[in-house]
Amino acid sequence: MSKGKISIDKHFIRNTAVDDRIFSAFVEHLGDVIYNGIYNPSHPQANEDGFRKDVIDLVKNLQLTGIRYPGGNYICSYNWEDTVGPAEERPVRADLAWQQTEPNTVGLAEFEKWTKAVGSSLIMAVNLSTRGAVDAANLVEYCNHPGGTYYSDLRRKHGHENPYGIKVWCVGNEVDGPWNIGTKRAEVYGWDAAEAAKAMRRIDKDIELVAVGSSGTQLPTYLEWDRVVLEHVYDSCDFISLHRYMGMPDIDNPSTYDQKDIGDYLELAGRLERNIKDVVAACDYVKGRKHSDKTMYISMDEYNVIDIIPDDEQNHQEKKLWETGPSGHSRGLSMKSTLLFGLSMLTLLRHSDRIRIACQSILINGGGLVMCEGNDDAWVNGSYYIFQHCSLYGRGKVLEEVQEGTLYNTKTCNDVSALDSVCIYHEDEQELDIFVVNKSGEQMDFTLTPAFFRELEPIEHLVVTAENPEAHNSAEHKDVIQSVSRNDIISKENRIQCKLDKYSWNVLRIKER
């Protein structure tokens, strides 16, 4: 049996309010995310717009604040003008990022409608790889200007009298990545982004702008890119982006840890934490150099865990060229990756003083939260429940905590704690929600010692786990990993006690009497 203990004090607050936009996601014109994913007019569950109702319902239950769109790498050859107006008149394009055929059947208006149907709002990206400041400003004009100008009247002609009012805009995507068309040097991108920001804000001064930060720690330009870009955009942008796909060989370099050792694998969350601290340091360095009073925030606008695919499966994956909506990697996320996802969400919440936007990526298919290939019924990964728990119960004050967990050694790390946690206090509701991961392969005896709270009364204990850390959900077996509610929290002498399953994600929901 391992042990875990957290001590908290009602007055010791780490962050007074988590920004709601941390509970956002990313949707790209990539593989079967849009076509054959959310949009499939021949699916039995399709609505009058061709969108799958089962997918809409599942996404709705996540209470996403924002959805970043339309790319991703897709943005590098994106012509927004192709995606508006009568669908039958839109050009079919060769998408240079993914070498897919883009029919533009789902364009800006359609996707905006879908975003509304799932109860969310758009976070829009502009192409700053192969297009420029004026094209970006024209898109802002089309979306946000009330009328009386060419592009705003074009929107009205297209049947959208009222502006879309899109608040957050990403000024490009991964422009430092050699995999993209239109890669730029930091000085060039920084200059272009500052000019684009100027033009976009001339149309709408109230928008918030995200500049492109380093796309990955593996790049030789890592952090130096951020410094140079920030020198250019510090006054004109509000956020710098950070992307992280944990478990991806390029990024996490499998020769530096043992992929088969679960302990080692779960410690990859520590690399995300380091990545965040690095970018915060770059922001604050530039702030200092500029003698600025402004704080630069992080938009972690793409993050996920990518399961390691066994070699035999990987070798059989052929790249399909010039298809529309080709099915991609439809394997469910393993329980150990689900836990790593949970640890990432804890890291995000812990750093929510500087991370103000975060988009889980990719929302649909490709190892995302919701899986909906072909004409099958939709199903969800274990990460869906973790995201949902955080979205429903994570919007409050983040408390400081002292954590003590049984220490153990992994293959390459010594003295790692079996416990990780974040405590959220909802003052108005007088509710405490404690997210806890038991990283160990043993049941955990967990205790919470709270100070200055009134008497505490358990509400429920939500658990996500599976007997086998390699187990995953699939179209055939949808509920191998699910969220269950238990009634096993003990409140005794103002301490909270509970047993946590091995390798489990937990939410302890407690109320002040």
Part of the chain binding ligand AHR (CB under 6 A), chosen from 65-73, 268-276, 397-405, 485-493: 65-73
Measured in degrees and rounded to the nearest 5, phi and psi for residue 460 equal -165, 165
**Shortest approach of ligand AHR to residue 73 CB, angstroms?**
4
CA distance linking residue 456 with residue 361, whole number of Å: 36
Long-range Cβ pairs for the range 107-111 (8 Å, 24+): 107/82, 107/83, 108/80, 108/83, 108/84, 108/143, 109/84, 109/158, 109/159, 109/160, 110/39, 110/49, 111/27, 111/34, 111/69, 111/70
Binding residue for ligand AHR, selected from 112, 135, 141, 174, defined by CB under 6 A = 174
CA distance linking residue 424 with residue 437, whole number of Å: 15
**Shortest approach of ligand AHR to residue 249 CB, angstroms?**
14
3-class SS of residue 314: helix
Binding residue for ligand AHR, selected from 100, 173, 299, 383, defined by CB under 6 A = 173
Q: Does 370 bind ligand AHR (CB under 6 A)?
A: no
Residue with smaller CB distance to ligand AHR, 238 or 302: 302
**231: annotated active-site residue:** no
Output the CA–CA distances (angstroms, integers) from residue 390 to 73, 386, 396, 450, in the order listed: 28, 6, 10, 21
Near ligand AHR in 22-41, by CB under 6 A: 28, 30
3-class SS of residue 284: helix
Binding residue for ligand AHR, selected from 31, 37, 70, 71, defined by CB under 6 A = 71
Part of the chain binding ligand AHR (CB under 6 A), chosen from 67-75, 104-112, 372-380, 398-406: 67-75
Given a contact cutoff of 8 angstroms between Cβ atoms, the answer to whether 367 and 381 are in contact is yes
Site string for ligand AHR, 79-118 (x = CB under 6 A): ----------------------------------------
Q: Does 469 bind ligand AHR (CB under 6 A)?
A: no
Instruction: Give how many residues touch ligand AHR by CB under 6 A.
Output: 11
Output the CA–CA distances (angstroms, integers) from residue 15 to 300, 353, 400, in the order listed: 18, 6, 8
Residue with smaller CB distance to ligand AHR, 138 or 214: 214
**427: annotated active-site residue:** no
**Shortest approach of ligand AHR to residue 202 CB, angstroms?**
27
Residue with smaller CB distance to ligand AHR, 241 or 388: 241
Residue with smaller CB distance to ligand AHR, 85 or 247: 247
Q: Does 361 bind ligand AHR (CB under 6 A)?
A: yes
CA distance linking residue 119 with residue 397, whole number of Å: 24
Q: Which residue is nearest to ligand AHR (CB)?
A: 72
Q: What is the 3-state secondary structure (H, E, C) of 336-387?
A: HHHHHHHHHHHHHHHCCCCEEEEEECCCECCCCCEECCCCCCCEECHHHHHH
Q: Which of 102, 112, 141, 302 is catalytic?
A: 302
Using the 8-state DSSP alphabet, how is residue 104 labeled? Answer: -
Residue with smaller CB distance to ligand AHR, 31 or 405: 31
**Shortest approach of ligand AHR to residue 361 CB, angstroms?**
5
Residue 127 structure tokens:
């192409």
CA distance linking residue 38 with residue 138, whole number of Å: 28
Interface residues with ligand AHR (CB under 6 A)? 28, 30, 71-73, 173-174, 243, 302, 361-362
Which residues participate in catalysis according to the annotation?
Answer: 174, 302
